[in-house]
Amino acid sequence: MGRYWLHVTDSEGFDPEAENLSFKDRWRDTLAKVKVDDEIITYVKGKGEFAGHGRVCAVSGLEGESFSSPLALAVQPVKVEAVKARLLAPDLSFITNKDRWYVHFNKSIYEIPKEDFETIKEGFATGKPVTAACVSSKADSRVERLKAEIASRTATGIKGLDSIIEGGFPVNSTILVTGGPGAGKTILAIQFLLHGVKNGEHGVFISMDERPDDLRKEALKFGWDLTKYEDSGELVIVDVSYPRSGLPSKEKYQINMPFTLDNIVRTVYEIISQIDGKRVVIDSLPAFGIHFDDEAEVRIAIHRLNNLLLSSGCTSIITSEIIPGHEGISRFGVEEFIARGIILAEVYREGKEYKRALTILKMRETNYDLKRYAFIIGKEGLEVLPHKVVFFDEAARII
């Protein structure tokens, strides 16, 4: 059975009669999956159109060393009439964000479902004329799809948490997990990634604070072997801690110096694209911001990084810290505004014991209660106790 692919290019590089489609070396792993007789459709950025269609005749450049030979697909082009992508977006399942449909065209080549491929081919044939009836029908369809998106959740896999947020995080959203040291933020983030990996969603952990080996050792305490998933390509740990300290890193994935916004965004984008990442963790933003000159620059960087994650179709966790004695819930005061969800983790004193509590302060498209739920960190990780609501005043709050 053949597979179906989407090729993304700009208007300058598009020729509807081209018999060769060229790609950069970073798409080598994806192109290795393309076979003769697979079908491919071309989307042209700038014009916002599906404008090309062809059948694959050959794949070249895969045998040599990196950059030694050009990567290309030889195709037999089929003449088509271009169709605007926005007209088809409501009917395409791989476009999950219908309002910002254009953010899904951020890779040079990727596989799409056969049903979506056939929908685009039908669009070539019909031209999708826009009549009043068509607009009305599409408006109804769009509402139904938006309702379906609201109901669609990204399960965290954290015992007790999904039950208080209607099954998980909103799909393709950024969730801020904030609190003081020792509140369990990193453990929660690792569990979120691992649950995705075990269910076919590749994950990326960008480690700003901890050395990757320290992270792996922490996970092993709970019986989680991160290296197993790293070796299979399902999980990537990006080392930032060593490079930002000016020390060499032995890690395969790292953000090299200079520690600039463009370098960070480019590296993260390439890694997400390379492994088809669906879940991302950035731990933590205070460490991310230390290399920028002022907080205004940090806020711009956080906005750009968040837009990258959303445009990649990922559901993401970013962690931040509460500043002792400060009224805010994050370090830079912008994290809570870009996030679609906020989870506050706290440590408090009850008698002579120290305990933990978790509050959902914000979760878009979700019915939730503003309660402090007790949670524990046991042998199997973090577990929320929905039946146990706790109360304490600020004097009892430690972090």
In the predicted model, is pLDDT for residue 314 greater than 60?
yes
Three-class DSSP labels, the chain: CCCEEEEEEEHHHCCCCCCEEEECHHHHHHHCCCCCCCEEEEEEECCCEEEEEEEEEEEECCCCCCCCCCEEEEEEEECCCCEEHHHHHHHCCCCCCCCCHHHHCCCCEEECCHHHHHHHHHHHHHCCCCCHHHHHHHHHHHHHHHHHHHHCEECCCCCCCHHHCCCCEECCCEEEEEECCCCCHHHHHHHHHHHHHHCCCCEEEEECCCCHHHHHHHHHCCCCCHHHHHHCCCEEEEECHHHHCCCCCCCCCECCCCCCHHHHHHHHHHHHHHHCCCEEEEECHHHHHCCCCCHHHHHHHHHHHHHHHHHCCCEEEEEEECCCCCCCCCCCCCHHHHCCEEEEEEEEEECCEEEEEEEEEEECCCCCCCCEEEEEEECCEEEEEEEEECCCCCCCECC
Residue 278's pLDDT band (cuts 50, 70, 90): very high
Interval 325-340: pLDDT, tens: 566 666 666 677 778 9
Interval 211-255: pLDDT, tens: 999 999 999 999 999 999 999 999 999 998 877 777 778 898 988
Give pTM, 2 decimals.
0.66
The pLDDT, as a whole number, for residue 324 is 61
In the predicted model, is pLDDT for residue 128 greater than 60?
no
- Segment 188-196 shows an average pLDDT of 96
Among 194-198, 230-234, 286-290, 358-362, the minimum mean pLDDT is found in 286-290
Total Cβ atoms within 10 A of residue 140:
11
Residue 349 φ/ψ, nearest 5 degrees:
-100, 130
In the predicted model, is pLDDT for residue 45 greater than 80?
yes
**Whether the bond into 284 is cis, omega within 30 of 0:** yes
The pLDDT, as a whole number, for residue 64 is 56
User: What distance lies between CA 378 and its chain's CA centroid?
Assistant: 28
Distance of alpha carbon 114 from alpha carbon 287, whole angstroms: 43
Domains of the chain: 4-148 (3.10.590.10), 152-389 (3.40.50.300)
Interval 165-191: pLDDT, tens: 999 999 989 999 999 888 999 999 999
Residue 137's pLDDT band (cuts 50, 70, 90): low
Name the burial class of residue 240, with classes exposed (0-12), middle (13-18) and buried (19+) by CB atoms within 10 angstroms of its CB. buried
In the predicted model, is pLDDT for residue 66 greater than 60?
no
Two tokens at 211? 């050395």
Alpha-carbon Rg for the chain in angstroms: 23
Q: Are 183 and 173 contacting, i.e. CB atoms less than 8 angstroms apart? A: no
The pLDDT, as a whole number, for residue 67 is 46
The pLDDT, as a whole number, for residue 131 is 43
